[in-house]
Amino acid sequence: MSIRSVVGTGLRTTIGRAETEQLRRREVAARRRLARLIAPPAPESNHAPKPPTAKPKPKLTREEMIDALGRAGVEGLGAGSQLPAGLSWASPDPFEHVSSGFHKHEFLGALHELLQPRRYFEIGVDQGQSLTLSRARTIGVDPAYRITRSIHCDVQTFLQTSDDFFATDGNFDHFEGQPVDLAFIDGMHLAEFALRDFMNTEKHMSPGGAIVLDDMLPRNSLEAQRIRRTSAWAGDVYKVHEVLRRHRPDLTIVPVNTEPTGSYLVVGLDPSSTVLSEVYDDVLAELSSPDPQTVDADWLRRSTAHAPGPVLESSVWAQVRELRDDNAPAEEFRGRWSALHDLG
């Protein structure tokens, strides 16, 4: 038995347990102070671990990233749509449709071949991937385009928004007063912008003309938010479908299952129609309803969309070209489009 424990036992019987413990603590503290005086701590060496200066930032969970992106408020494409510092696009939700394996540019390229448009109009040029498909006299509009492809057509480009373009007299002069045979609307991915683009474009279309809207078939609701959260972004342009379906039963509408975010073909156009401009203010609140957006399950599954093959194989395109070459009046085109309603 050590001297310390003999002394401790003796003390406990004479002055009691609590007093003995207190004495013991004081003795330990005194010994530590003495040890520091005799041997002060060594100066900091290069190898000594440095105390952490800042706590490493905890990684955001997917839900937190979606929330942070929502607050960052990236609404739009082009110059203003850069990913905010410190954030990354959220991984998308799963897709519910069966892919056709057909890319939107393949579909648009096939339409160029079938329709052989004399004049092509494009909203949303970006790097010129879709523009490069045109062999017609062409106008392209985009406030932030940076073309990196070879272009094979007689094109005039406008570095401005589509709204500004349509508000400027003479911007269609490149077409010398002649109407558009094929138009591709792929600008701002917000429903009210896409509807305005459609309304304004329709006024310039030829009787056998076709408008294709991009991104009308988002693959999940996350991709369809107005505030961008995912790398591929469809936005909420899909809402335009309901407006056209309700207010323009005279149009022939063909949703097409293309990758990535669907194509939406509209024919049977009527440049004199004022219906959409009359209802625009009434539908605006519905179109610009804030996030979250919830896309109908049927639309996500693309169960009412057509496979590109039957649309492109239809005999309607040759008929329309023939009527166009004969300068047939608008009424003669109308009956032809019904072939596109009955596709499998």
Instruction: Name the site residues for ligand SAM (rule: CB under 6 A).
Output: 76-78, 123-124, 126, 129-130, 141-145, 161-162, 186-188, 193
- Pick between residue 114 and residue 213 the one whose CB is nearest to ligand SAM: 213
Closest CB 149 distance from ligand SAM, rounded Å:
8
Residues linked to residue 155 through DSSP beta bridges, in sequence order: 138
- Show the CA angle centred on residue 165, arms to residues 224 and 122, nearest 5°: 55
Taking only Cα atoms into account, the Rg of the chain, rounded to an integer number of angstroms, comes to 34
The conformation of residue 211, written as its DSSP 8-state character, comes to E
- Pick between residue 126 and residue 202 the one whose CB is nearest to ligand SAM: 126
- Pick between residue 125 and residue 316 the one whose CB is nearest to ligand SAM: 125
Closest CB 126 distance from ligand SAM, rounded Å:
3
Closest CB 229 distance from ligand SAM, rounded Å:
16
CA distance 51 to 53: 6
- Pick between residue 105 and residue 321 the one whose CB is nearest to ligand SAM: 105
- Pick between residue 144 and residue 328 the one whose CB is nearest to ligand SAM: 144
Q: Give the residue among 238, 257, 290 at the shortest CA–CA distance from 96.
A: 257
Closest CB 128 distance from ligand SAM, rounded Å:
7
Backbone torsion region of residue 16, taken as left when φ is above 0, otherwise alpha when ψ lies between -120 and 50, otherwise beta: left
Encoded tokens for 183:
């138009």
Q: Give the residue among 284, 281, 279, 255 at the shortest CA–CA distance from 267.
A: 255
CA distance 133 to 144: 20
Closest CB 161 distance from ligand SAM, rounded Å:
4
- Pick between residue 227 and residue 320 the one whose CB is nearest to ligand SAM: 227
Closest CB 102 distance from ligand SAM, rounded Å:
15
How many angstroms from the chain centroid is the CA of residue 263?
A: 14
Closest CB 160 distance from ligand SAM, rounded Å:
8
Instruction: Calculate the CA dihedral of residues 318, 253, 112, 220 and round it to 10 degrees.
Output: -140
Which residue's Cβ has the minimum distance to ligand SAM?
Answer: 78
- Pick between residue 125 and residue 295 the one whose CB is nearest to ligand SAM: 125
Pairing, β 263-267 against β 205-214 = antiparallel
**Residue 105 and residue 186 in contact, taking contact as beta carbons nearer than 8 Å:** no
Q: Give yes or no for a cis peptide into 58 (omega within 30° of 0).
A: no
